[in-house]
Every structure is written in structure tokens, then in C-alpha cells.
Amino acid sequence: MAHSDHRFGADIALLARTWRAELDRRLSHLGLSQARWLVLLHLARQPEPPTQSELAQMIGVECPTLARLLDGLETQQLVRRVPVAEDRRAKRIELLPGTGALIAQIEAIAGELRREVLGSIDQQELEVCQRVLGQMQANLERR
């Protein structure tokens, strides 16, 4: 293992944290915490509304944590919980009508940051990087 390998995980974590903090700063005027806009983006990118437990897994939080986030998003009238007919305990999480404009703002700001961060990097290098990160994720998931 090369000496630089020892910092690789820390470098990835720092990049993720810095990127997310900058996006959070740029989205602060929308009145959403980082956790809340992340939930909205995940919901907007799903072809079908996920259950609350599926959404928690996607975002990487515990179900009670997500429940509190959803309570706040329901109060803001951005999402609703819909009972699942086949399982009375499960709820699907849906975006409410009218959230499209907010999602579009979030996506536009996130896209602008993405272009700023990745714009000077060669497309082939980005593709290699994504493949490597994907393989690393697969390696971790096999454990």
C-alpha cells in the first residue's frame, strides 16, 4: 500500500463534507436545512414514491431521524405520508403538488455548483473516477 493510500478515505470524506457545506450555504435562503433539501432531492429523483424505510436507507439515516425530518417537511407542506394498502405499518412519502418550483431551484443551484467543481476536469478522468468510486462502494457493500 502506498503512503498516499492512507489519506484516501479522509480526502473523500473532506471533499464530500466541503461540497455539501457549500451547497448548504447556497441553499440557505430557501429556508431548508441540509437534511431537508437532501430528502426533497431524493424524493424528486425517484420514479415512484419510496416507503419511509426505503427513503431512510437511501439517505443513510435511521428511521426515527427521518421521521423528524418528515414531520418538518409536512409542516412546511412539502411532503405527505400515504398509507401502503398491503402493509398498514408502511407509509409512502410523496412530494406535494407545488414543490416542483422549489425542487427546480435546488437542482439549478446544485447544478451550478457541480459545473464549478467539475468544469475544469477532463470528462474521461471523471468517468474513471466514478468507476473507481463505484468499485470502492461495491467492495464495501460486499463486506
The model's pLDDT over 102-113, given as tens digits with 9 standing for 90+, comes to: 999 999 999 999
Record the pTM. Answer: 0.78
How confident is the model at residue 141, as a pLDDT? 87
What does the pLDDT read at residue 34?
82
Confidence of residue 89 (pLDDT cuts 50, 70, 90): confident
State residue 2's pLDDT score. Answer: 55
* For the chain, domain boundaries: 17-141
Span 17-141: which CATH code?
1.10.10.10
pLDDT for the residue 104: 94
Say which DSSP state 1 is in: -
Q: Are 79 and 96 in contact (CB under 8 A)?
A: yes
Give one word for 80, left, alpha or beta, with left for phi > 0 and alpha for psi -120 to 50.
Answer: beta
Instruction: Supply angle C-alpha 104, 53, 134, rounded to 5.
Output: 65
Rounded distance, CA 58 to CA 46, Å?
10
Residue 47 and residue 97: Cα distance in Å, rounded?
16
